[in-house]
Structure 1
Amino acid sequence: MEKRIRKSEMSPEIVLLGKRIEEIIKEKGLKTREVAHDADMDVENLRKYIKGKQEMKITTMLKIAKSLNVSVEELFNFVKTK
């Protein structure tokens, strides 16, 4: 099976969001598998989000935030306001 290639690069914000999720997982001493299970999602999809390789739906983001026990605002604390 041939690997699919994205037509466009992921936006920097998507990559930063993935890094932020990974940071929170490490801060809380969790395992990616645990977070995926608590969010009722496949661990491979969560890994794609963390690596910034796949965009997520808002409902998925809410599930991840809930499984991490953080607010959505905390997920986006990397965003600089003007």
Structure 2
Amino acid sequence: MRTFHQQYNQKHVKFSFPPNEKLTNSLMKYIKKNNYETEMLELYEIKPKKFPEAKQPEDIVVELVNENNLANYLIL
């Protein structure tokens, strides 16, 4: 992952920590002192049958990322 980030000049890192545990004060101090930022990702679940019906606007195209569109994806 690091090689990929360096190759595309992406300057972020991702760490995963145990669920339902707070980061220690010393780690948070280090993060702030070194001008890092933290974010939290929450995952929710919904059963497919409960998805609301929605029409996709015609001017929006959803496609998988592949070798042909990777550069555009990385710009985002």
Q: Shorter-chain-normalised TM-score: which range?
A: under 0.3
Q: As a proportion of its length, which structure holds more helix?
A: 1
Q: Greater RCO between the two (CA within 8 Å, min separation 6)? A: 1
Larger radius of gyration between Structure 1 and Structure 2:
2
